[in-house]
Amino acid sequence: MSCQIDISESAGVRYLHFGSTWIQGAMRIARPWNLELEYTKEMMASLLLREDAHFPRNVLLIGLGAASLTKFLYRNFPLAKLTVVEIEPDVVAAAKHFFKLPEDPLRLKIVLGDGAEFILNSNRTFDLILIDGFDADARAGALDTTPFYLNVRAHLNDNGIMAVNLLGRSKGFEASVERVCKAFDDRAIAFPSCDSGNTICFAAAGEAINVALDDLKDQAIQLKEKTSLNLLPTLTRLEQAQTCLGGILVL
């Protein structure tokens, strides 16, 4: 299997495309380790949901794209071990050639294969699983099914968090959120869609999460100091949506 890979550049930003104008990933050339697209920043709100100083230590990423999430975690969480599953060899080649994907077999393992099959056959558990896998037509296929989400839950450890990008679902993201909720016994929340139209859904396994939005803001300030990633606008939007009763996020 192969897909058409196109690279474009505009105003200092390099973009990845799969044979169309739809953006599959982006990197600001002057800051290759930073997150450029808003939805990738939003997926990193998962880092705020556990107060464990060692979180995350074992991360699974399904879908490589321009390697934005992979590079961010690799640079800012040096104790984390990353496994990336990508079905398209050409995407891996493009990430290495155009988007500065690091080569470090001790900390970063790239697996060529289907993400749903990998999770089904794996005997490992992870504390963070990030899912951002689409084909050239913005379809997620098996990566947006209840059995898949059940398998993801089974491969999260006691502090496990899943974050999934729900852009491109043909019937809207509500049905996808329902599937996540079913698989995680309603321990899931969809953040309000960001300006790009992406909706990020988070789900938790193991230890319950019960945290005030004000405390999340404090953690976001610490994350910004550590990584320069500013998630305060994301939390403000979540607060304005009033989806967290009493200003408390419960998962």
Helix H or strand E segment including 85: strand 81-86
Tens of pLDDT, residue by residue over 10-36, are 999 999 998 887 888 999 999 999 999
* Mean per-residue pLDDT, 126-138: 79
Q: What angle do CA 80, 147, 151 make, to 5 degrees?
A: 25
Quick one: average pLDDT of 38-51?
95
The H-assigned helical ranges of the chain are 38-43, 68-76, 89-98, 115-121, 146-154, 174-183, 213-227, 232-241
Instruction: Answer yes or no: is pLDDT of 251 > 90.
Output: yes
Is 244 a domain residue? no
The Cα–Cα gap between 203 and 170 comes to: 22
> What is the C-alpha separation between 148 and 133, in angstroms, rounded?
13
Peptide bond into 192 cis (omega under 30): no
Query: What is the spatial order of strands in the sheet that 23-28 belongs to?
Result: 6-10, 13-17, 23-28
Alpha carbons 152 and 129: distance in angstroms, whole number: 8
Domain harbouring 75, CATH code: 3.40.50.150
Phi, psi at residue 233, to the nearest 5°?
-60, -35
Residue 219 has pLDDT above 50, yes or no: yes
Answer yes or no: is 216 within a domain.
no
pTM summary value: 0.94
CA gap 143, 164 in Å, rounded = 9
CA distance 138 to 213: 32
Match 């992979």 to its residue by tokens.
Answer: 70
Cα(155)–Cα(85) distance, rounded to whole angstroms?
15
Is the per-residue pLDDT at 118 higher than 90? yes
Q: Mean pLDDT over all residues of the chain?
A: 92
Question: CA-to-CA distance for 51 and 80, rounded, in angstroms?
Answer: 16
Residue 4 lies in a domain: no
* pLDDT at residue 52 in the model: 86
pLDDT of 135 above 60: no
Specify the DSSP class assigned to residue 247: G
Number of structural domains in the chain: 1
* Structural domain span for residue 73: 36-207
Of 115, 120, 119, 147, nearest to 132 (Cα)?
115
Lowest mean pLDDT among 80-84, 110-114, 193-197: 193-197
- Alpha carbon of residue 90 to chain centroid: 21
Condensed to tens digits (0 to 9), the pLDDT of residues 143-171 reads 889 999 999 999 999 999 999 998 644 45
The yes-or-no verdict on residue 196 having pLDDT over 80 is no
CA contacts within 13 A on the Cβ side of 35:
21
**Which 8-state DSSP code applies to residue 141?**
G
In a domain, 11, yes or no: no
Q: Domain for residue 13, yes or no?
A: no
Residue 77 is assigned to a structural domain of this protein? yes
Is residue 221 in a domain?
no
Answer whether residue 70 shows pLDDT above 50: yes
**What is the arithmetic mean of pLDDT over 66-74?**
98
Instruction: Flag whether 110 is in a domain.
Output: yes
